[in-house]
Structure 1
């Protein structure tokens, strides 16, 4: 979402005089991460010798040209919704004016700039990992890939592919498609039978655009929450690398990430039959509140608090004596970070609930309350050490 030009100017000025609030700082950071050029622009501002040289051309503009270019640049700063202004010296000089002056049609040069440390601090904000959001691509059999709108949270497959508000998604006709979420992304889909699936970060769901035949079959990698529409005549099948799950109509969660030791299937409502993909023979039937744990050697069934397994779909992390590696894998997928362990911290565990919308700094601070570990942020890398 674009931020109004006057707001950006005000935020920059308030940052300069140290009157900016925490909420306003977040807005300024939001503007910085919208486009790398915003950060580049802020870096240019502190280079006074460069700016003065560019201003020689700036001052030679006729007043009507100045007003026109200033207006266009102010719009570009706020929303990046207009064409780039040329020549390049006009673009940077007028943009610099807009950032350090009131946006009222009159731009003037103010030689006072942010200190080097302050500028670097704001530039660094671009590198701060942000919570995930609605991000996904749709891959059509045949090779077409469509970047789905982040303004929407899901799509519906019912004769045609559309967003949840009914707006159409232009896609080549196909029999099968795959919904993919990246690290730091999530998305929902309503399948042709009315089944609802929500994909967690770094996951994919391959599905047919119509359910023909004796069964409804989809293929999952990663993690997803299913609300399966009941149809006794057409069992619903979910396949993963190691597991085959058959249901008639039920609510469940499957965690089948390749970097997890086991495939965890948690039943919320109804019944599901769990089997190995290779054999197809039913191994066990789950009841609500049970979780199956399947790896290459064995299948176990345990009683669990289902809220922990499905917390992600409600915008939370919930951990119950979870080891720090398990905790950090979830955080890494959602914030799209790399985790590096400098010490053996495998004995460290964490219990508690954290918001998936919180800044990663707040997440790490809460984890440090264990008093056993510390975290250092290095761009998109989190370094973990013993305390």
Structure 2
């Protein structure tokens, strides 16, 4: 590395004595900007060793002058390269008042700033987040676009039920007449990519549908021994405990391509997207049985792979982030996170040959943000870059 040919102790002493010209400081910063993260960390380690063997008198008293020198140097550059003086002060004070770590922090900050810029192709615009929209397909084949219904006014009538949209956007089923003699019909509610919806089923069970998901269910559960729901995609269920009229609780069953989740009354999330490698049921409250293999308690997750089922203890908040209108970037791997983004913003993800298969992510961000804000947060890891062109996101190293 180039900095190895410099006498770090000499540079540091000159800087404390205010004998290091601004030009040399600028050149040092430029050299550091071309070092890898590992090289920067090694530079700090070398400086720590040098500092211990050659202590410099008056180091503490020189802190404010060092900070002021860096601040004045940065203020002389274009505004998009400036970093808050308070940020320097707070970080350096916490980093044992060292010059080189301060400069390293500056370089890391500059890299993060540059990494945060999302390239948007000419003629393209930032993409807004998804919203409440879904399609209700009735048993007779009629399709109703729910976002076109007027809340509290438009009503859809079927045997034994009246369907309407509430002021909060929720779709609600109300009983009509004698449900015991009503003809049972099956409806399907589906959300597109970039959509979500909340439904109150005939038994008062609440269902939140994530983007690109659907549920098929009967208009009445009165005749059924169990309340059977078919799910594709992802949904969160708050199941209402219901008696079958004979003193027994009527089971609520969610069926997916790899799991059958049986409950009586509980809160749980099921992720069953076709493009994911597994189906995951996460239990927040109550008790559920997954297939015939496992009974979950709150805080556990059943994961079905192609041939096996595993039960794990998990942080449940990390798996219902979408219901709380957030992206949790801490637990999902990079490609899984990108699939979540693709569904919510209705975009196509293209991976360049240089694109990494894994990127260490962290943090949370609201799903109400435009796509550029989410991509910027990921890009600040420094391991990946994005280009937005129309509804296509290209991923590169």
Q: 1:137 aligns with which of 124, 135, 138?
A: 135
Change (3 A) 1:348 1:193: same
1:267 counterpart residue number: 283
Ranges in structure 2 where 5+ consecutive residues have no aligned partner: 1-119, 174-182, 243-247
SS in 2 for 1:252: strand
Q: TM-score normalised to the size of structure 1?
A: 0.62
Question: Does the 8 Å CA contact 2:284/2:316 hold for their aligned counterparts?
Answer: yes
1:36-115 correspondence to structure 2 within 5 Å: none
1:296-335 correspondence to structure 2 within 5 Å: 296-335=306-345
Change (3 A) 1:345 1:292: same
1:249 matches 2:265: yes
Q: Deviations over 1:102-152 (max 9, x none)?
A: xxxxxxxxxxxxxxxxxx999643xx3220000100011221111112688
1:208 counterpart residue number: 218
Count, aligned residues? 256
- The structure with higher relative contact order (CA 8 Å, sep 6+) is 2
Change (3 A) 1:344 1:189: same
Deviation at 1:196, TM superposition (A): 0.3
1:191 counterpart residue number: 201
Q: 1:160 aligns with which of 138, 159, 162?
A: 162
Deviation at 1:198, TM superposition (A): 0.5
2:253 counterpart residue number: 237
Deviation at 1:293, TM superposition (A): 0.5
Distance in structure 1 (CA, Å) of the matches to 2:139 and 2:147: 20
2:90 counterpart residue number: none
- Cα RMSD after superposing both structures: 2.7
Distance in structure 2 (CA, Å) of the matches to 1:273 and 1:367: 36
Distance in structure 1 (CA, Å) of the matches to 2:328 and 2:172: 36
2:394 counterpart residue number: 383
Q: TM-score normalised to the size of structure 2?
A: 0.60
Deviation at 1:283, TM superposition (A): 0.5
Give the number of the structure whose alpha-carbon radius of gyration is greater: 2
Ranges in structure 1 where 5+ consecutive residues have no aligned partner: 1-119, 276-281
Q: Deviations over 1:224-274 (max 9, x none)?
A: 000000125210000011110100000000000001110010000000000
Deviation at 1:383, TM superposition (A): 0.5
1:289 matches 2:299: yes
Question: Does the 8 Å CA contact 1:325/1:346 hold for their aligned counterparts?
Answer: yes
Q: Deviations over 1:302-338 (max 9, x none)?
A: 1111101111011101122432101100000000000
Change (3 A) 1:150 1:337: farther
Distance in structure 1 (CA, Å) of the matches to 2:172 and 2:196: 20
Distance in structure 2 (CA, Å) of the matches to 1:168 and 1:301: 34
Q: Deviations over 1:274-315 (max 9, x none)?
A: 01xxxxxx1000000001100221000111111011110111
SS in 2 for 1:371: coil
2:103 counterpart residue number: none
Deviation at 1:215, TM superposition (A): 0.7
Q: Deviations over 1:29-58 (max 9, x none)?
A: xxxxxxxxxxxxxxxxxxxxxxxxxxxxxx
1:354 counterpart residue number: 365
Runs (4+) of structure 1 exceeding 4 A deviation are: 120-123, 150-158, 165-169
Change (3 A) 1:270 1:301: same
Question: Does the 8 Å CA contact 1:338/1:380 hold for their aligned counterparts?
Answer: yes
Distance in structure 2 (CA, Å) of the matches to 1:307 and 1:244: 22
Change (3 A) 1:257 1:330: same
Deviation at 1:202, TM superposition (A): 0.1
1:179 matches 2:189: yes
Deviation at 1:344, TM superposition (A): 4.2
1:366-381 correspondence to structure 2 within 5 Å: 366-381=377-392
Question: Does the 8 Å CA contact 1:177/1:209 hold for their aligned counterparts?
Answer: yes
Change (3 A) 1:328 1:357: same
